[in-house]
């Protein structure tokens, strides 16, 4: 790891000021991606700004059919929250299957989405449930937030403060996990929301995406058989040592059908 | 250098660390608490598992500065002061929960955390196996470890299901 200066602000305003003061600063939330990246010397920030001391970033509230989760809330707290389990069980289930218990005790919602790893679970929840990201300066819809592989709409120094998830009529998430890392080779969230059916896929492409053909078919007939014929083009999907793009394309259909069957 | 104060196994430890110092480096190299092991150094094997405020974390993927002001428990803080093994440690000994022993400190720390996390429910074999996801053992094939955790949990007063 290269050397860096360390800041431990108590408010988002202090964190933003510290970011501006550094030549090439980086925020750290749970650090479950950043620390391994630093250890491999893939990044060399001048300053690391620790967000864990900012009370405003923590906590879960459920009100008016909306589950609002602070960016600094760790996956284990989302998974264990009785409120989340009651309002959106699919979201608690998703959080309960990220990485392993030790990772879930450190890793945070805000850190996960700001990193936008193509195989991360949370992007499927945000896009699938039609969530809104509240940052230190504005609100961004989930679909506008995730812009590409490890890319988001966040400006330099802009912080994710919380995410608001509308409570769906029904929703479920399943993934085909990498057997070693538990990252999603393919993960699918299907939700029936006030705005209609949403199908969001993570792990398969460079960034989370929706499948309009499945959404249209499910709107007509909410059953696994309704989407069994939907073909997912493999052209733009990820291909690596774990799975080819063709395999991932096939998995999207299989997992989506399983998800629908679980809540049909 | 940053000045930090970390309560380690009940005793406040004041020290100067470089911000890039990992918690596991601080524990092993500065405090000489070498019970916490470094296996993979890539957040996978869990040999470095310690508790921060009672929750299991990988000390190789935590900065020492992130533990400032927190309560850290390592494997050295688990047994009684007179050396009497904790029931979970005793169970690992009794049920052959180890062969080479390298992963054992992390296994015991994860086991203690999983018992506390699941106090409200019956601890089944499936739950034990799933909750040990973040700890790798290359010797035992896990059978003895799962039996040890079940026995240790029982000795800690948890409700434990049938374990083969």
By Cβ distance, the residue of B44, B55, B65 closest to A105 is B55
User: What residues contact residue A221 under an 8 Å CB cut-off, 6+ apart?
Assistant: none
Write the DSSP assignment of A173-239 as a string of letters: EEEEE-TTT--EEEEEEEEEETTEEEEEEESSSSS-EE-HHHHHHHHH--SGGGGTT-----TTS--
- The interface predicted TM-score of the complex, written ipTM, equals 0.96
User: What residues contact residue A218 under an 8 Å CB cut-off, 6+ apart?
Assistant: A190, A197, A199, A226, A227, A260
- Does residue B6 register a pLDDT over 90? yes
Work out the pLDDT band at A31, boundaries 50, 70, 90: very high
Q: Give the pLDDT score at A180.
A: 85
Q: What is the mean pLDDT of residues B56-78?
A: 98
Work out the pLDDT band at A181, boundaries 50, 70, 90: confident
Token pair recorded at residue A7: 């800041």
Q: Which domains does chain A have, with CATH numbers?
A: 5-50 (3.30.43.10), 58-263 (3.30.465.10)
- Does residue B113 register a pLDDT over 90? yes
Contact between A199 and A210 (Cβ < 8 Å): yes
In this prediction the pTM is 0.96
Q: Which residue of B has its CA nearest to A44?
A: B20
By Cβ distance, the residue of B2, B63, B131 closest to A101 is B131
Q: Do A101 and B66 touch (CB under 8 A)?
A: no
Q: What is the mean pLDDT of residues A232-246?
A: 96
Contact between B50 and A15 (Cβ < 8 Å): no
Q: Which residues from B are below 8 Å from A when comparing CB atoms?
A: 2, 18-20, 22, 41-44, 46, 49, 52, 55-58, 61-63, 65-66, 68, 110, 113-114, 117, 131, 133-135
Q: What is the mean pLDDT of residues B134-159?
A: 96
Query: Of chain A residues 136-175, which have a CB less than 8 A from chain B?
Result: none
Work out the pLDDT band at B164, boundaries 50, 70, 90: confident
Q: Which residue of A has its CA nearest to B44?
A: A181
Q: Give the pLDDT score at A179.
A: 87
Query: What percentage of chain B exceeds 70 in pLDDT?
Result: 100
Size of interface A-B (CB pairs under 8 A): 75
Q: Which domains does chain B have, with CATH numbers?
A: 2-75 (3.10.20.30), 87-160 (1.10.150.120)
């Amino acid at each position: 790891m290269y050397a860096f200066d360390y800041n431990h602000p108590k408010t988002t305003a202090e964190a933003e000021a510290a970011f501006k003061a550094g030549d090439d600063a980086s925020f750290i939330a749970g650090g479950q991606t950043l620390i391994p990246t630093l250890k491999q010397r893939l990044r060399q920030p001048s300053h690391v700004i620790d967000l864990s001391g900012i009370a405003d970033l923590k906590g879960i509230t459920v009100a008016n059919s909306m589950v609002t989760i602070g960016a600094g809330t760790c996956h284990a707290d989302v998974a264990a929250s009785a409120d989340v389990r009651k309002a959106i069980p699919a979201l608690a289930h998703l959080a309960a299957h990220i990485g392993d218990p030790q990772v879930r005790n450190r890793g945070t919602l805000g850190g996960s989405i700001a990193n936008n790893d193509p195989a991360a679970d949370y992007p499927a929840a945000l896009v699938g449930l039609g969530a809104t990201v509240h940052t230190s300066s504005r609100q961004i819809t989930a679909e506008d937030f995730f812009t590409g592989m490890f890319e988001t709409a966040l400006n330099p120094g802009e912080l994710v403060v919380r995410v608001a998830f509308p409570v769906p009529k029904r929703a479920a998430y399943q993934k085909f996990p990498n057997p070693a890392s538990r990252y999603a080779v393919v993960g699918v969230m299907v939700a029936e929301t006030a705005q209609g059916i949403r199908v969001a896929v993570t792990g398969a492409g460079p960034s989370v995406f929706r499948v309009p053909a499945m959404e249209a078919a499910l709107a007509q007939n909410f059953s696994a058989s309704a989407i069994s014929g939907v073909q997912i083009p493999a052209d733009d999907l990820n291909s690596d040592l774990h799975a080819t793009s063709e395999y991932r394309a096939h998995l999207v259909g299989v997992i989506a059908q399983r998800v629908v069957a679980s809540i049909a | 250098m940053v000045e930090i104060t970390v309560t380690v196994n009940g005793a406040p430890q004041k020290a100067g660390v470089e911000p890039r110092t990992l918690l596991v480096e601080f524990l092993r190299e500065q405090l000489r608490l070498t019970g916490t092991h470094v296996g993979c150094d890539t957040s996978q094997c869990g040999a470095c598992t310690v508790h921060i405020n009672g929750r299991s974390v990988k000390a190789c993927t935590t900065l020492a500065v992130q533990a400032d002001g927190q309560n850290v428990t390592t494997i050295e803080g688990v047994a009684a002061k007179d050396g009497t093994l904790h029931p979970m440690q005793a169970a690992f000994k009794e049920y052959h929960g180890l062969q080479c022993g390298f992963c054992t400190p992390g296994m015991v720390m994860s086991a203690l955390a999983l018992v506390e996390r699941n106090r409200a429910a019956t601890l089944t074999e499936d739950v034990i196996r799933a909750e040990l996801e973040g700890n790798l053992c290359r010797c035992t094939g896990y059978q003895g470890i799962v039996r040890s955790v079940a026995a240790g949990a029982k000795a800690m007063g948890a409700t434990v299901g049938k374990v083969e």
